[in-house]
């Protein structure tokens, strides 16, 4: 008998004895459970049923890395509930929880690690939508569940706030935070749980000063073949002037050849995302399945983004505004500036996409983030195919036919930690597929 089998046998003896009476019913149903340990917080949906005094059910992963979905059994112990968790038949821990107000609270040991458990009934509070005016006083350089919420909001709420430039300066050009895409947030969205979809509509992005900067001394080496030599002009100036009435940006001190250059303003948010899984703390300059430094020049006013939720409250943060940006961000920067931004959040229960996607009036834009452009394109294509199959019920062959004929790609960024490619599908073509089987809301 292996040790794990021995423990399992002992646990079964323990939990099988005292069966619930009627009172056990209070434990039945769906719970949002969080397991907090020295490793951080793991959160999951826990579903319990009670039959003949025995509790059984399933839970999403409660290890910090969110690897392993769990089987659950339970039995009563006075007011409390003794729970046993197993993965693939092998017991991985136990806990004791008891009612406390509308919650269950308690503690136990998962994978040899002491945890505190709190379970609540799912759902956000039912209250009118609020317009929050949020003036940040502190900024964050990372996406992480370890950072406490700056503001608690609810689905349907709108937030009016501001972002610093990539180096930490505000609308007056004064340092308010350290360089490296300091983020406004995180915003805790009530009711959001791992597996849900966070919806963020960018209602408005206003430029709030007349200056921007873009490194332009040379192109980023990642945009050029090995061996391509550039002669960087040490005098080259990175300052741009933003003509907000005229709707264009101009180099502040251009050389002769660029004297007449006037780039149309297209205000956008460069870095936006949610807290990643586990105890990870990911730089605001990196990009991933949680979003982050997406640096896509169509994340602008009128665009709605859909993020997977990995942590309770989602923990949305945003920053790194650009007055304009070419594809790929190939000089390493957009026209970096501060912004006044207004966004509205919503929540879709479940349906977490693998990677973020977005839409505006004309197109659906599905992100692929990978280790190389090839990987990123492959991810974008797969995400688009899965999106089509999920929403419109297409077969693989129908998805191939549709995508082969109508897909477009954008290269969003190649300098933001990892390459980001976007698959675009026109809404005119999508409309030809009939009504989606599943709507976004």
Dihedrals phi, psi of 387, to nearest 5 degrees = -60, -45
Instruction: Please state the closest distance from residue 70 (CB atom) to a copy of itself, in A.
Output: 12
Measured from the CB of residue 219, what is the shortest distance to a copy of itself in angstroms? 5
DSSP state of 233: -
Considering beta carbons, is residue 150 or 200 the nearer one to a copy of itself?
150
Give the shortest CB-210-to-a copy of itself separation in angstroms: 12
Of the pair 20, 402, the CB lying nearest a copy of itself is at 402
Cβ 284 to a copy of itself shortest distance, Å: 9
CA dist., res. 416 & res. 396, Å (int): 32
Q: Which is nearer to a copy of itself, 318 or 377 (CB)?
A: 377
For a copy of itself, the closer of residues 341 and 415 by Cβ is 415
In the complex with a copy of itself, the residue whose CB is nearer, 24 or 182, is 182
Minimum CB separation of residue 362 from a copy of itself in Å reads 15
| Cα distance between residue 297 and residue 299, in whole Å | 6
Closest CA to 327 of 293, 286, 297: 297
Q: Is 382 helix (H, G, I), strand (E, B) or coil?
A: helix
Q: How many CA atoms lie within 13 A of 400 on its CB side?
A: 3
How many whole angstroms separate alpha carbon 345 and alpha carbon 314? 11
At 90, which helix (H) or strand (E)?
strand 90-100
Of 305, 417, 321, 277, the closest CA to residue 364 belongs to 305
Report the nearest approach of a copy of itself to the CB of residue 399 (Å): 8
Q: Kindly tell me which of 50 and 335 has the beta carbon lying closer to a copy of itself.
A: 335
Closer of 20 and 85 to a copy of itself (Cβ): 85
Q: Rounded to a whole number, what is the distance in angstroms from the first to the last CA of the chain?
A: 52
Q: How far is the CB of 261 from a copy of itself (least distance, A)?
A: 5
Contacts 24+ apart (CB under 8 A), 37-42: 37/64, 37/110, 37/113, 37/114, 37/115, 37/116, 38/113, 38/114, 39/64, 39/113, 39/278, 39/279, 40/64, 40/145, 40/146, 40/278, 40/279, 41/145, 41/311, 41/312, 42/66, 42/278
Taking the complex as a whole, how short is the minimal distance between the CB of residue 177 and a copy of itself, in angstroms? 6
- Of 29 and 426, CB closest to a copy of itself: 426
């Amino acid at each position: 008998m292996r040790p794990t089998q021995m423990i399992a046998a002992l646990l079964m003896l323990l939990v099988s004895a005292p069966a619930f009476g009627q009172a056990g019913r209070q434990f039945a149903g769906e719970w949002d459970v969080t397991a907090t340990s020295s490793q951080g917080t793991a959160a999951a949906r826990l579903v319990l049923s009670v039959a003949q005094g025995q509790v059984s059910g399933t839970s999403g992963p409660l290890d910090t890395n969110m690897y392993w979905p769990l089987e659950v059994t339970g039995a009563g112990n006075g007011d409390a509930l003794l729970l046993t968790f197993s993965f693939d038949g092998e017991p991985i821990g136990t806990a004791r929880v008891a009612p406390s107000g509308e919650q269950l609270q308690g503690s136990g040991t998962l994978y040899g690690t002491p945890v505190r458990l709190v379970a609540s009934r799912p759902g956000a509070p039912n209250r009118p939508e609020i317009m929050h005016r949020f003036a940040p006083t502190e900024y964050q350089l990372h996406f992480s569940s370890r950072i406490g919420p700056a503001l608690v909001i609810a689905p349907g709420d709108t937030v009016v706030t501001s972002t610093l430039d990539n180096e930490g300066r505000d609308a007056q050009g004064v340092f308010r935070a350290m360089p490296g895409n300091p983020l406004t947030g995180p915003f805790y969205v009530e009711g959001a749980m791992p597996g849900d979809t966070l919806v963020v509509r960018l209602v408005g992005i206003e430029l709030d000063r007349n200056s921007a900067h873009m490194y332009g001394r040379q192109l980023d080496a990642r945009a050029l073949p090995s061996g391509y030599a550039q002669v960087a002009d040490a005098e080259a100036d990175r300052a741009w002037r933003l003509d907000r009435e005229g709707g264009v940006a101009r180099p502040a001190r251009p050389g002769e050849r660029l004297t007449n250059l006037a780039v149309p303003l297209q205000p956008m948010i460069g870095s936006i995302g949610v807290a990643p899984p586990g105890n990870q703390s990911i730089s605001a300059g990196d990009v991933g399945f949680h979003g982050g430094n997406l640096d896509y020049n169509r994340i602008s006013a009128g665009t709605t983004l859909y993020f997977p939720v990995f942590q309770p409250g989602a923990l949305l943060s945003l920053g790194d505004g650009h007055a304009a940006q070419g594809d790929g961000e190939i000089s390493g920067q957009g026209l970096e500036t501060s912004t006044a931004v207004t966004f509205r959040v919503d929540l879709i229960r479940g349906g977490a996409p693998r990677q973020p996607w977005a839409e505006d009036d004309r197109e659906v834009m599905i992100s692929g983030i990978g280790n190389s452009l090839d990987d990123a394109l492959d991810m974008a294509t797969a995400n688009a195919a899965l999106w089509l199959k999920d929403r419109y019920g297409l077969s693989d062959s129908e998805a191939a036919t549709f995508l082969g004929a109508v897909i477009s790609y954008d290269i969003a960024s190649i300098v933001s930690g990892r390459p980001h490619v976007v698959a675009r599908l026109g809404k005119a073509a999508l409309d030809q597929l009939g009504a989606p089987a599943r709507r976004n809301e």
